[in-house]
């Protein structure tokens, strides 16, 4: 265990070998929900493995090169282009301006001296010399024998909120949230000391270096909790059951549900036995009940979703179509509804399956 000088803080994280993680399962359940590759972050304490290529970039920027470019890269004291990030990760002693916190007060006057110093000390930085560098690799390309400290993903807040529950589902501990600190603190220091998931928008530098869009944010997952992703995102979930269990008796939901049942019955009654209809197609080919006309492309799109969300998805799309006064649910309507709730990327991924 490494201690941060003068603070009593000690490393709490437990790096794991790739063989201890369900790499294929994790990558599969994250597909379509995150940008690029899930990235394995490894903190090197004694030597830089030969499979990693040094990059003279900001320490947080190695994430982007693994995430978007599929590269296996590292930074260290020599291969870095940001003294602040190098100081936070303990590979460089920094300058007096950085160590004291004046880097913030000199250029961001909203910071008070005490707050600025806090963000550059204690649990926000790794002890000097605790590591000699850090590597980033696509999760499914981590070289043999390399221990993984954490997995970092970039995604929308919708998926971040679900992914960040990866520890909560096991022991009830909620993720740490970050604001005001350097993204290097969020990605390297917090998991080191707390072994907790970090949900963070990142600071300006972290976002710029990793080219985040306004609708994207980071989730940092210590390796210890990562296997929970498989059940969390890929396990059976009765979405409709959960929703209905929380509706009070006088909820408008029950009124809408009753009307949908009536319309669905009418559609079935109107369908001639010797002629195909969207209601018949939905029921016989896709196992779905619809209450308004759909075209087959739209039905096929919903049918690609996991079985446990299909009925709920049908209801949501029909509610959306009704609000928009669309007489027919087409694939374009399904896409428009998905985009309206931040699910467009996931829908596009389903179409490729």
Domain ranges of the chain: 16-234, 239-352
Q: Which strands make up the sheet holding 198-200, listed edge to edge? A: 53-54, 73-76, 133-138, 39-44, 150-155, 217-222, 198-200, 176-177
**Residue 5 pLDDT:** 43
Which range (3-7, 36-40, 91-95) has the least confidence?
Answer: 3-7
Tell me: the pLDDT tens digits for 238-258? 778 888 999 999 999 999 889
**Residue 276 pLDDT:** 56
What is the average pLDDT value for the chain, to the nearest integer? 91
CA distances 163 to 157, 172, 230, Å, are 10, 14, 10
Instruction: Give percent of the chain above pLDDT 90.
Output: 71
The pTM assigned to this predicted structure is: 0.80
Average pLDDT over residues 1-17: 68
Instruction: Give backbone dihedrals phi and psi of 281, rounded to 5 degrees, phi first.
Output: -60, -45
Give kind and range of the element (H or E) at residue 278.
helix 278-286
**Residue 8 pLDDT:** 58
**Residue 272 pLDDT:** 55
Average pLDDT over residues 221-249: 90
Average pLDDT over residues 159-172: 96
């Amino acid at each position: 265990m490494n201690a941060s000088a003068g603070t009593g803080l000690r490393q709490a994280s437990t790096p794991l070998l790739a063989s201890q993680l369900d790499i294929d399962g994790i990558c599969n359940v994250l597909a379509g929900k995150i940008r690029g590759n899930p990235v394995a972050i490894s903190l090197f304490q004694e030597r830089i493995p030969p499979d990693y290529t040094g990059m003279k970039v900001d320490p947080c920027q190695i994430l982007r090169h693994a995430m978007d470019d599929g590269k296996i890269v590292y930074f260290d004291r020599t291969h870095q282009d940001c003294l602040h990030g190098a100081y936070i990760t303990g590979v460089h002693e920094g300058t007096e301006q950085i160590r004291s916190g004046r880097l913030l007060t000199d250029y961001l006057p909203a910071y008070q001296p005490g707050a600025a110093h806090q963000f550059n000390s204690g649990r926000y930085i790794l002890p000097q010399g605790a590591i000699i560098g850090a590597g980033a690799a696509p999760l499914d390309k981590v070289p043999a024998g390399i221990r993984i400290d954490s997995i970092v993903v970039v995604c929308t807040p919708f998926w971040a909120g679900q992914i960040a529950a990866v520890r909560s589902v096991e022991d009830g501990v909620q993720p740490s949230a970050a604001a005001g600190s350097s993204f290097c603190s969020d990605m390297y220091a917090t998991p080191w000391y707390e072994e907790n998931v970090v949900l963070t928008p990142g600071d300006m530098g972290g976002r710029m270096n990793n080219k985040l869009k306004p609708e994207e944010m980071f989730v940092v997952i210590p390796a210890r909790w990562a296997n929970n992703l498989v059940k969390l995102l890929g396990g059976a979930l009765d979405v409709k059951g959960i929703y209905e269990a929380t509706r009070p008796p006088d909820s408008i939901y029950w009124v809408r549900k009753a009307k949908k049942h009536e319309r669905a019955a009418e559609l079935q009654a109107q369908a001639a036995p010797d002629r195909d209809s969207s209601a018949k197609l939905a029921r016989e080919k896709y196992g779905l009940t619809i209450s308004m006309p759909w075209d087959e492309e739209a039905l096929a799109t919903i049918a690609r979703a996991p079985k446990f969300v299909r009925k709920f998805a049908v209801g949501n799309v029909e509610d959306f179509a009704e609000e928009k006064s669309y007489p027919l649910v087409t694939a374009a309507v399904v896409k428009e509804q998905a985009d309206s709730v931040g699910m467009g990327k996931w829908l596009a991924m389903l179409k490729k399956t």
